[in-house]
């Protein structure tokens, strides 16, 4: 995401956390665009620097979208998981 780089495994873990947040309580549905997993204890360490940024929720949202098709990401992992269609 811009100058930031994260491992594919960490981004997959981020997606799992964000998916879990959507299923916690149907009355408290949280948009992935506004959700920030910074309070999650299992958030990979490499995302801690993102949590200190004002645009953290935007970055997490873009990373979430980037791994929607995990199979594509596995094939394109060296191309930063975006734009290799």
pLDDT in tens, 43-79: 999 999 999 999 888 888 888 888 876 555 555 555 5
Q: Quick check: is 85 in a domain?
A: no
Instruction: Name the more confident of 55 and 34.
Output: 55
Report residue 84's pLDDT band, with 50, 70 and 90 as the boundaries. Answer: low
Q: Tell me which long-range contacts 51-57 makes (C-beta under 8 A, separation of at least 24).
A: 57/33
Q: What pLDDT score was predicted for residue 75?
A: 54
Whole-number pLDDT of residue 71: 57
Count of domains for the chain: 1
Q: Would you say residue 67 lies in a domain?
A: yes
Domain limits at 71? 8-75
Instruction: Please check whether residue 31 lies inside any domain of the structure.
Output: yes
């Amino acid at each position: 995401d811009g100058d930031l780089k994260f491992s594919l495994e960490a981004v997959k873990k981020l997606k799992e956390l964000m998916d879990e947040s959507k299923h916690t309580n149907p009355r408290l549905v949280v948009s992935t665009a506004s959700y920030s997993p910074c309070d999650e204890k299992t958030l990979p360490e490499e995302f801690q620097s993102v949590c200190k940024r004002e645009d953290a929720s935007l970055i997490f949202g873009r990373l979430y979208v980037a791994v929607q098709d995990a199979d594509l990401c596995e094939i394109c992992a060296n191309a930063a998981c975006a734009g290799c269609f």
